[in-house]
Amino acid sequence: IVFHPAFYLGDPPEKAYDTVKKYLGEALDQLKRENNRVWIRPEIMGKVSQFGTVEEILDLCTELEGLAPCIDFAHWHARTGTFNSYQEFTSILLQIKERLGRATLDDMHIHVSGIAYGKKGETKHLNLEESDFQYIELLRALKDYDVKGLVICESPNLEEDALLLQTTYDTLPKTD
């Protein structure tokens, strides 16, 4: 289950983190009591008013059993205005590997799209070719780090962009 965790609603990020962690922990405890083994995946969010930085999501996944991240690279690019290069994409993959282990990279849930953004972050999803999002660099990073799992395309023309992602990925050589 992938979900958008929260909005800050004027609270400092630390308070929002504590609130999200508390209630998410209660939900995970309930799932465990019911022997429901579903994975819960909080998503990296694209607006600065939303709870869901890379650090917040990885912290939650480290502290609460039964969580794994949903990494939306376009959201993070829109939120920061950066994180749009091979090195920046690999820095996130390295954080995941170091904090959550290689097994997490073997079972990833990733969202990709073109993205429009402003000073407050994401404004809307775009087709990949209409955006400055460097999807080829992302695909190189995913291939070089042998990331496995799901990539969900969220572009408005999702079928075309999903095919573009797949065919591009298949043509990329793996760098050693």
Model confidence, pTM: 0.94
Whether residue 176 lies inside any domain: the answer is: no
- In this predicted structure, the answer to whether residue 176 has a pLDDT above a threshold of 70 is no
Percent with pLDDT over 70 in the chain? 99
Angle at 41 between CA 40 and CA 44, to 5 degrees: 155
Look at residue 136 and tell me if it is in a domain.
yes
- Residue 175: the pLDDT is 80
pLDDT digits (tens, 9 = 90+) for 68-91: 999 999 999 999 999 999 999 999
Q: Considering the chain, what percentage of its residues have pLDDT values greater than 90?
A: 97
Write the pLDDT tens digit of every residue in 10-35: 999 999 999 999 999 999 999 999 99
Domain-located, residue 56: yes
Q: Mention every residue, 6+ apart, whose C-beta is less than 8 A from residue 60.
A: 5, 17, 20, 21, 24, 42, 67
Tokens coding 65: 């059993």
Number of domains the chain contains: 1
3-state SS track over the chain: CEECCEECCCCCHHHHHHHHHHHHHHHHHHHHHCCCCCCEEEECCCECCEECCHHHHHHHHHHCCCECCEEEHHHHHHHHCCCCCHHHHHHHHHHHHHHHCHHHHCCEEEEECEEEEECCEEEEEECHHHCCCCHHHHHHHHHHCCCCEEEEECCCCHHHHHHHHHHHHHHCCCCC
Confidence class for position 93, pLDDT limits 50, 70, 90: very high
* Residue 39 structural domain: 2-171
Number of other CB atoms surrounding residue 149 within 10 Å = 14
Assess if residue 96 is contained within a domain: yes
CATH number at residue 41: 3.20.20.150
pLDDT value at position 154?
A: 97
- Within a domain: 28: yes
| CA neighbor of 169 nearest in space, from 61, 125, 43, 146 | 146
Q: Closest Cα to residue 110, out of 41, 17, 28?
A: 41
